[in-house]
Amino acid sequence: MKKLILTTCMVALLATPAMAQVDFTRYVALGDSLTAGVASGSIMDYYQVRSYPQLLATQAGAGLLQGPFIAPPGLQPILELKSFSPLSIGPTEMSPPADPFEYFYNLTLEAPYQNLGLSGADTNDLLTKTGNALNLVAGNFDNVVYDITLRVPQQPDPNTGDLIDYTAMVAAIGQQPTFLTVWIGSNDVLGAVLAATPIDGITMTPLDAFAADYATLIGGLAMSLPSTDIVIMTIFGDARWLPFAATVPTAVTVPGIGTVPLMGEAGPLGPGDYLTLPAAGLLGQGMGLPIPGSPPLPENLNPATGAPGVVLRAAEIEVINERLASVNGIIAGVAAQFPNVHLFDVNNLFADVVNGDYRTFGGIELSNAFLVGGIFSYDGFHPQNVGQAVVAGALIDFINDEFNADLPQLNMYAILNEGGWNAASPFAAICGGCDPKSAVMTREAFMQLYSMMLPELAARWDQPHLQRQTHSSSVD
């Protein structure tokens, strides 16, 4: 008994007080647009400094995470809500600074960035792609995301001195982070939602390739950084959770007849079928209506022209969701293989949001609803500042549980009230100058997402002669 008491006392002496058991001295975040803070179809400093890695770093006392900050209106002109009713979303008319060093004002920072979120990146891109800031000086913007983020194509290997490709993975390891988060995998699947067509190798990464890339990435990080706490994150597990896929109704009410399904090329839309946001623009042009003379809505991506489809059939949703589940299974499986890798289940968090099981903030309920749900930005794909805070808040809870840490929570009152980047200078509420018949999401707005997530297809579709040829089935 005495021994037990003595042991208890010694354990009590050894136990450190309740404080952070996790070291944020050097925090690096790897990922895609979700990590970069992409919102409303653009990368812009207002949202970059409100990304979940920055919110986490601030709460952990790690200060500013350096990143490829971009002045307004963002890398592409950020999307604005032109009119809520009738609904119209399009790029801002604000012009970027003429001087590239004012536009990409953090480009000359003489240190690697800690936020290595690369818009549009899939898992393989973090392993293979490099960038070179000199491209920008030469006026070449083809690889802009990597050029502004990684900035140098090669660096000497600290062990051998040989030049090696300076990929996002290498950039992360080179900083010898004490804490690392990795949220990657969304672009390995969700291009299928954007183009409304799941095709392996075109809109989705084949599963075996993803599995190999993911294991290489996380395994490489875990073994190169054996004393680093690494948190990896699952991805949203259901295509229908994205406002991009779940907002446009699939039927119309015809006076005197009732509710009539809209028409895709493969016939009327049925239960379980969905339309993507650009479909609303086509409906506004008279397509897809259940009346004679109305051309049907384009079902699927035309890989030759790059023209996307707008109809997500139930069977396509099933294929995408099965893939999302497989990807999340692979992520969880990899997490279990390494003692310094910890799994944060974002998928579960968003399931709670969608199912109404997520917490309330003093009576304020957030949801995945487009425009009024509080989480997603105007592109219907990416979260804005509140959505980023939802991820960061849950990540803080996770870290506190997993590492017995004591990171303070975010002040959600402030975040819920600060608004978007343009909140201080709102547009005219009555649609000024915009065409009520214009798309819910203008073609320019869609192109920004498209070129971000599926750049090769977008480039193909962006060629004017092809647009003319495919006019009847394009998203305009």
Please, are residues 61 and 24 in contact by the beta-carbon 8 Å criterion?
Answer: yes
Structure tokens that stand for 383 in this block: 């979260």
Q: Of 320, 312, 248, which Cα lies nearest the Cα of 284?
A: 248
In the complex, the residues that contact another protein under the rule CB under 8 A are 81, 83-85, 359-364, 366, 371-374, 377, 384-386, 393, 408-414, 416-420, 422-423, 426-427, 429-430
* The total number of residues written for the chain in this structure: 476
Q: Which is nearer to another protein, 160 or 360 (CB)?
A: 360
Q: Which is nearer to another protein, 251 or 371 (CB)?
A: 371
Q: Which is nearer to another protein, 442 or 451 (CB)?
A: 442
CB of 422 to another protein, least distance (A): 8
CB of 253 to another protein, least distance (A): 15
CB of 386 to another protein, least distance (A): 7
Backbone angle region of 147, left / alpha / beta, with phi > 0 → left and psi within -120 to 50 → alpha: alpha
Q: Which is nearer to another protein, 41 or 120 (CB)?
A: 41
Q: Which is nearer to another protein, 123 or 368 (CB)?
A: 368
CB of 38 to another protein, least distance (A): 15
CB of 420 to another protein, least distance (A): 4
Please, are residues 65 and 115 in contact by the beta-carbon 8 Å criterion?
Answer: yes
Q: Please give the Cα distance from 474 to 265 (Å, whole number).
A: 13
Q: What residues pair up with 96 in beta bridges, in sequence order?
A: none
Q: Which is nearer to another protein, 281 or 393 (CB)?
A: 393
At a CB cut-off of 8 Å and minimum separation 6, what does 267 contact? none
Q: Which is nearer to another protein, 198 or 383 (CB)?
A: 383
CB of 230 to another protein, least distance (A): 25
Number of H helices, E strands in the chain: 20, 15
Q: Of 156, 174, 104, which Cα lies nearest the Cα of 134?
A: 104
Q: Which is nearer to another protein, 313 or 382 (CB)?
A: 382
User: Cβ–Cβ contacts within 10 Å for residue 367, how many?
Assistant: 16
H helices present in 361-454, as ranges = 385-402, 412-418, 443-453
CB of 79 to another protein, least distance (A): 12
Please, are residues 308 and 457 in contact by the beta-carbon 8 Å criterion?
Answer: yes
Q: Of 108, 105, 112, which Cα lies nearest the Cα of 150?
A: 112
Structure tokens that stand for 20 in this block: 């952070």
Q: Please give the Cα distance from 460 to 291 (Å, whole number).
A: 32
CA dihedral over 19, 25, 31, 34, signed as positive or negative: positive
CB of 412 to another protein, least distance (A): 4
Q: Which is nearer to another protein, 403 or 427 (CB)?
A: 427
The helix (H) or strand (E) run that includes residue 330 is helix 314-335
Q: Please give the Cα distance from 206 to 265 (Å, whole number).
A: 27
CB of 447 to another protein, least distance (A): 22
